[in-house]
Amino acid sequence: MNALNLTTVDISTDRKRLVILDQTLLPNEIKYLELDDRESIYEAIKKLRVRGAPAIGVAAAYGIYVLARKFDGDDKDGFAEFFRREKGYLNSSRPTAVNLSWALRRMEAVMDDNLQSMTIPELKDRLGKEADDIRDEDIRLSRSIGEHGLSLLHHGDGILTHCNAGSLATAKYGTALAPVYIALEHGWNDLHVYCDETRPLLQGARLSAFEMQTAGVDTTLLCDNMASITMKRGKINIVFVGADRVAANGDFANKIGTSGVAILARYYGIPFYCLAPSSTIDMSIRSGDDIPIEERAPEEVTEMWYKHRMAPEGVKVCNPAFDVTDHSLVTGIITEKGIAYPPFDRAFERMGIR
């Protein structure tokens, strides 16, 4: 089995249910969930059953479409009110990943543009087509990101990645791991991927290592605090990570620990790249200081992965889901439009990102 062939997020054949691969069960169990109510869709995004900024965007698009189908009647004002209420509810599930709000805004724009000219059934079909387009575009964009990233690689390179920004984080191919998949398509079989375990949800261990190993890539799993010695030993030639939101100046939020990896890479002189679709770049915020950081439950640190609790009762826990990597530590940001180099705000403008 190759994880690249797993479908991360889709719509059911009768188009009534959002279908997701439950990533909380990987790598031990492959299970698909079919969701058709607001609470289960919200919970799937909130609890990271579907995760990765691009995949969250696709799930949100299909999710709001599934909910919109439930509206009865031909009252257009009522439909618009219902849609915006459901959109606001889904949008509150994950505050950091900008693709969530981006996809929901895009679906809302389709509704606004066609509300007066279409019947409610026609509008529902149009929303479904938009969700399909978002998914198809994500696959094309991820492949393009992979091709740009491959241009930076050499045979035999050791690549360090943090968390999971592979195929499981998108509709297919991924962002940070997309260059590895494209390399395989070109017959490269000599890359070595080092996957940070990535506390507290172990997405590097459970997902990235699973992806790379099932794809036939030489894969090594590292605990997060082993990255420095691995770099010092000369094993790492380049770092590829994803992003949940990129600010106009190139600061970006990714899974907690990414900024530490960037600091290590700078110290050891290793190129450090962020790979993300242009939809992840939020030009409305000037810097990473404006990116909201999600704080997660302390139980993820104290007891989630253990047979017995591994921390004293009542101890305070710091458990932010993300940190912000300063743009000064970033060699380049790879999008489907090409590779942006500092100063990033000007590079984004040249790429037509507004």
Residue with tokens 């969700």: 131
Task: Report residue 328 as tokens.
Answer: 């000064």
Cβ contact 244:280 at 8 Å = yes
CA atoms of 276 and 324, how far apart (whole Å): 15
CA atoms of 12 and 8, how far apart (whole Å): 13
Phi, psi at residue 228, to the nearest 5°? -65, -50
Q: Where do runs of H (alpha helix) occur along 194-270?
A: 203, 209-214, 227-232, 258-268
Nearest to 273 by CA among 186, 161, 128: 161
CA atoms of 117 and 168, how far apart (whole Å): 38
Burial 186-218 (b: 16+ CB within 10 A, else e): eebeebbbbbbbbbbbbbbbbbbbbbbbbbebe
| Known catalytic residue at 74 | no
> Residues 6 or more apart from 172 whose CB is under 8 A from it?
4, 8, 138, 139, 142, 143
Active-site annotation holder among 138, 244, 282, 323: 244
Residue 36's alpha-carbon distances to 14, 129, 270, 305, in angstroms, are 12, 18, 46, 30
- As annotated, the active-site residues are 244
